[in-house]
Structure 1
């Protein structure tokens, strides 16, 4: 990496970090490019060297957080295919999401952020694919087909159950103070709950786990490509 490219990368990273903190503190509507540039220690014009508008900057910022989540999931499942078992997949999804503060704000209900992120048709399609309900609807048929999910319940019920578990635990685990006394490891409770609801009594063989992991990795890699396209669309290209 040349010194010029490295300098550009550092500036862009500072701008993104500053924008994230300001949006978390004040919300999208109250944050200006001037405030972002001051917090990042760069001129206002420098922000516009990278992004055409504040809205494009926030879109790119959220997409980068989503890319981080997908990269984490892809890396973990590649290293250990058994991570696709429902109990462990639930831990992976919720644990990753808890590290993405903008996703918390969106889940808690930020209409301005939601409106911005779904303004463009391509963005709406992408976020419709990555919300908890859609992900449950994508992943559960794969697990069911390869025997990683129970066969004594309708698939539609299992999709709903996974969605409810992911959404509920994400909401409660994002506020640790709300846990009742004596709860030492919410992630373990999440795994136990998911296993009881969705996993078969007899564990699947390694071949079935590997086949399910391959299909789920293909889904995540496809989503990663869509997120990279969004990032590309959100920023200006400098020659």
Structure 2
């Protein structure tokens, strides 16, 4: 990487960091490009060298956050395929998701951010693919197909149940209240998901590996779509 490109990249990183901080503090609607530039220590025109509009910048910022989320999950699954077992995957999804400040702001209610993410049909469909309910609807059939999910309940019911559990634990684990002394929230969640979804007979190593690979393929497809959105959101001169 040439010094010029590296310098430009550092500027872009400062702009992204500043935009994230301001959106988290004030919401999308109240943040301006001038404020982002001032916070980043660059001129307003410099922001436009990278993004043609505030909306493009924030779309790219949100997509970057989701790519980071997927990269973490993919890395864990690649290192240990057994991570896709529901009792292990559920705590990982929540703990990793809690590190997404923009997603948490969206969940807490930011109409400006929600409107921005759903303004274009293609973006709306893409971001919908990484919501908890969509992850459950996509992931449960894969795990079921390879024997990692019990077969005595309809798939839609299992997906709904898992989504409800994830939302409940996510709310509890991200709120001001903490688990009682001596209680490990991750272990409680893992046990709840195990009892709710996993079959009485443990799946084979081959089945686990196949489920992990298929899950990773779906995640990589979403990741590629997010990267394409990031590229699309940037000023063409880059």
TM superposition score normalised by structure 1? 0.96
Q: Which residue of 2 aligns with 1:193?
A: 192
Q: Does 1:35 align with 2:35?
A: yes
- Structure 1 residue aligned with 2:174: 174
- For 1:148, the equivalent position in structure 2 comes to 148
Partner of 2:121: 121
Identify unmatched segments of 5+ residues in structure 1.
Answer: none
Q: Which residue of 2 aligns with 1:62?
A: 62
TM-aligned CA distance change 1:42 to 1:183, over 3 Å: farther
Q: How many residues align?
A: 238
Give the C-alpha shift of residue 122 in structure 1.
1.2
Q: State the match for 1:82 in structure 2.
A: 82
The 5 A counterparts of 1:1-239 are: 1-175=1-175, 177-182=176-181, 184-238=183-237
How far 1:102 sits from its partner (Å)? Answer: 0.4
- 1:169-212 CA-to-partner distances (Å, cap 9, x unmatched) read 1122111x223532542122211111111111221110000010
Q: 1:180 to 1:90 in 2, by over 3 A?
A: closer
TM-superposed deviation, 1:130: 1.2
Distance in 2 of aligned mates of 1:120 and 1:201: 44
Instruction: Answer whether contact 2:179 2:185 (CA < 8 A) is retained.
Output: no
Change (3 A) 1:38 1:184: farther
- Whole-Å Cα distance in 1 between the matches of residues 155 and 182 of structure 2? 31
Q: Offset at 1:15?
A: 0.4
SS in 1 for 2:112: helix
Q: Alignment RMSD, CA only?
A: 1.1
Where in structure 1 do 4 or more consecutive aligned residues deviate above 6 Å? none
Equivalent position SS for 1:8: helix
Distance in 2 separating the partners of 1:98 and 1:75: 17
1:104 deviates by 0.3
Question: Aligned partners of 2:152, 2:195: CA distance in 1, in Å?
Answer: 13
Query: Are 2:84 and 2:211, in contact at CA under 8 Å, matched by a contact in 1?
Result: yes
